[in-house]
Amino acid sequence: MIDIHTHILPFIDDGSPDCEVSIKMLSSLCEQGVSKVVLTPHFYAYRTDVESFVCKREISVNKLLDELKKKPVDISLYLGAEVLYFDEVWTVDNLDELTIKGTKYIMVEMPFCRWTDSMIGKISRLTSKGYIPIIAHIDRYIKKQKNFSCFYRLAEQGALLQVNTASVLSFFSRLRLKTLFKKGVITLFGTDCHNMEGRAPLYEESMQYIKKMVSKEQYQYMIDRQNFVLKEAQRIY
């Protein structure tokens, strides 16, 4: 099983505060049956540039890898980023540095407002440039949108929609997500874990709920789609 969205890298964003917590998060995921984890620290273009981000991320990765030498966890790691949407996102020269390493998949965090046609259009520009946008935690935007049409449009444009696993633990959230699951619009899932407390890696129980919300075939499709994303990805651990 794969967790495609995590803030396990230490000292880089509002996620794991240190290596000890990072190892606990990885161990917890491993115990819940996860074998592959994508590290997706926040990238905010208004705060930093790609070069500085990559440099900071490298330092963080090295610290985590050093710790894993002392306390190994039976899990594979992949590197990515969660890029906060900005209007010029598709014009960034070195965007490949922000994709899941070795692939063209790029995780985008959309703004927490009602999305405009222009925003959805900018995402399609990413697709035109050969990238495959992964729209992070769509469960967090549903209430903000007028209806589901923006999600359908994004999926039609070739974007993949990711849901946070913890969201299906809530009855009302499951109700809101039901249609999107049934229509097969949601294809990816991730914990978006930040720590071991309020935003801990909740995976196993959530996957049981997801299994019940979709058909057997749909569930298998989601698993296969998730695996396909990492097919060409470069493992860093």
d(CA 141, CA 177): 11
d(CA 214, CA 184): 8
190 pairs with which residues across the strands?
Answer: 164
CA dihedral 144, 148, 149, 153 (to 10 degrees): 100
Size of the site for Fe ion (CB under 5 A): 2
Q: How far is the CB of 163 from Fe ion (least distance, A)?
A: 12
43 pairs with which residues across the strands?
Answer: 83
Which C-beta is closer to Fe ion: that of 61 or that of 80? 80
C-alpha closest to that of 181 among 155, 202, 199 = 155
Q: How far is the CB of 82 from Fe ion (least distance, A)?
A: 5
Note the Cα 224 to chain centre separation in Å.
Answer: 16
139 makes contact with Fe ion (CB under 5 A): no
Which C-beta is closer to Fe ion: that of 67 or that of 192? 192
Note the Cα 117 to chain centre separation in Å.
Answer: 23
13 makes contact with Fe ion (CB under 5 A): no
Which C-beta is closer to Fe ion: that of 173 or that of 218? 173
Which C-beta is closer to Fe ion: that of 82 or that of 139? 82
d(CA 157, CA 190): 21
82 pairs with which residues across the strands?
Answer: 42, 107
In the stretch 35-74, what mask flags binding to Fe ion with x, by CB under 5 A? ----------------------------------------
Q: How far is the CB of 109 from Fe ion (least distance, A)?
A: 7
d(CA 41, CA 82): 6
- Of 26-34, 79-87, 114-122, 195-203, the window that binds Fe ion (rule: CB under 5 A) is 79-87
82 makes contact with Fe ion (CB under 5 A): yes
Which C-beta is closer to Fe ion: that of 192 or that of 218? 192
- Of 43-51, 71-79, 141-149, 187-195, the window that binds Fe ion (rule: CB under 5 A) is 187-195
Q: In this chain, which of 192, 226, 229, 233 binds Fe ion, going by CB under 5 A?
A: 192
Which C-beta is closer to Fe ion: that of 67 or that of 82? 82
Q: How far is the CB of 128 from Fe ion (least distance, A)?
A: 25
Q: What is the DSSP string of 200-231?
A: ----HHHHHHHHHHS-HHHHHHHHHHHHHHTS
Which C-beta is closer to Fe ion: that of 154 or that of 193? 193
Q: Where are the beta strands (DSSP E) in the chain?
A: 2-6, 36-39, 42-43, 76-79, 82-84, 105-109, 132-135, 160-164, 186-190
Using CB under 5 A, list all residues that contact Fe ion: 82, 192
